[in-house]
Amino acid sequence: MKEINGGVCAAKGFFANGIHAGIRKNKDKYDLALIVSEKPAAAAGCYTQNLVKGAPLWVTKKNISDGVAQAIVCNSGNANTCNSDGIEVAKKMCSIVAENTYIKPEDVIVASTGVIGLPLDPKPIADAMPALVAGLNEKGSSDAAYAIMTTDTVRKEIAFEFEIGGKTCHIGGIAKGSGMIHPNMATMLVFITTDVCITSEMLQKALSADIKDTFNMISVDGDTSTNDMVTVLANGMAENKTIDSENSEFKMFAEALNKVTTTLCRRIAKDGEGATKLLECNVSGAASDTDAKTVAKSVICSTLFKAAMFGADANWGRILCAIGYAGINLDVTKVDVSLSSRVGKIDVCKNGSGVDFDEDTAKSILSEDEIIIYIELNAGSYAATAWGCDLTYDYIKINGDYRT
């Protein structure tokens, strides 16, 4: 499997574009993205578990319930959430795409991110759509990735090439991470495209299995958005034999999918609001998969631990503390903890108690921008990884200081 350029346009038959439609006031910032497939594609999606769900999620769920979609339209600047006319506007966005293309409105995936509780006017979207469609092209992934960003500081795109049954296949994705504009809340959006030939059932199976180890293992601030959405479109243009069971080809596809999702997860975590560091927590020796995941998430979500990482402070007591309140059964006197980065690795805790370590070495390890925390529970053979970021002054600035 090799990394390639092209993002969501890396797979055959996918075109994308991004534009400033006028949903945002800042004319330099794109706010409307469109991704289309030449052919109708197998579609799969996963959505926020928040009871408060953005209107676009309901419409998307319905539209891909037949396992088919052909386009993705997404605006930033307004979440179209908690609005009484939300569903109507989300459907209107699908109709606008349909009116300007050969695609049926019920084959459109719709997503929104931005201000919550303010009505979304579909007029700028309707006005901009002809130009957006006219500009669709094979190199449009970056413009689409830019259009879905809110307070993200970098575009998040990735693509891989791999082979299934002698056919060259491609998979790529774009994502927006946890960003914020007033009065908004973080939303993670991920759109993945592939030319692999796979049934929508198997596509959904692969995606649903994958997110448990990837997107569900990220945390920037512990707040689950109302508009989170991950979708995959597979248009079959690689012409491999259709994947319709959990065979070896399915495993190859799942592996490629995982390369895309893991890469995007790391980038989303690293670009968390105000973040200066990517934190990766590797838990091993757990009694179950759930235990491993629970501990990894608990550490990654600890406000105190995140603040310590910002200060490059080897405050391992906060890690033990977060393990202790994670809610699993565990003999804490067996826990070992090490801290690592590209410049080295040190043990800080053995059998639940502190070990002597060199503070200068610890400081230099934790001053890097990617930190790995290894936790060995010595209670079994399960492992899990979670990703997060440090908690910084800029997080407070972005989220508290917006209007002061």
Choose, by CB under 8 A, the member of 204, 240, 284, 302 that binds its own copies.
302
Choose, by CB under 8 A, the member of 68, 131, 209, 304 that binds its own copies.
304
Query: Can you give the three-state secondary structure of 191-228, one letter per residue?
Result: EEEECCCECHHHHHHHHHHHHHHCHHHEECCCCCCCCC
Question: Per rule CB under 8 A, is residue 400 in the interface with its own copies?
Answer: yes
At position 265, the amino acid (one-letter code) is: C
Choose, by CB under 8 A, the member of 258, 324, 364, 374 that binds its own copies.
324
Question: Per rule CB under 8 A, is residue 312 in the interface with its own copies?
Answer: yes
List C-alpha distances in Å: 362 to 283, 309, 313, 385: 20, 11, 8, 22
Count of residues of this chain found to bind its own copies when the rule CB under 8 A is applied: 68
* Residues forming a β-bridge with 218: 387
Distance from the first to the final alpha carbon of the chain: 49
H or E element at residue 360: helix 359-366
Choose, by CB under 8 A, the member of 25, 27, 28, 84 that binds its own copies.
84
Choose, by CB under 8 A, the member of 182, 212, 251, 342 that binds its own copies.
182
For the record, the structure tokens of 47 come out as: 């959505």
Selected catalytic residue, list 150, 151, 187, 261: 187
Indicate the residue among 70 and 83 with the shorter CB distance to its own copies: 83
List C-alpha distances in Å: 309 to 66, 113, 220, 270, 367: 46, 29, 13, 13, 8
Alpha carbon 283 to its chain's center = 21
Residue 261 is among the residues annotated as catalytic for this protein: no
Question: Per rule CB under 8 A, is residue 395 in the interface with its own copies?
Answer: yes
Indicate the residue among 253 and 395 with the shorter CB distance to its own copies: 395
Are 94 and 74 a contacting pair, CB within 8 Å? no
81 burial level (CB within 10 Å; 0-12, 13-18, 19+): buried
CB of 260 to its own copies, least distance (A): 26
- Smallest CA-to-CA distance from 301 within 267, 266, 265, 325 is with 325
CB of 219 to its own copies, least distance (A): 10
CB of 205 to its own copies, least distance (A): 25
Question: Per rule CB under 8 A, is residue 24 in the interface with its own copies?
Answer: no
Which 190-229 residues touch its own copies, going by CB under 8 A? 221-226
Contact mark string toward its own copies, 45..74, x via CB under 8 A: ----xxxxx---------------------
Indicate the residue among 101 and 315 with the shorter CB distance to its own copies: 315
Annotated active-site positions, please?
187
> In the complex, which residues of this chain contact its own copies (CB under 8 A)?
49-53, 79, 81-84, 115-118, 180, 182-186, 221-226, 301-304, 307-318, 320-325, 330, 332, 349, 352-354, 363, 390-393, 395-397, 399-404
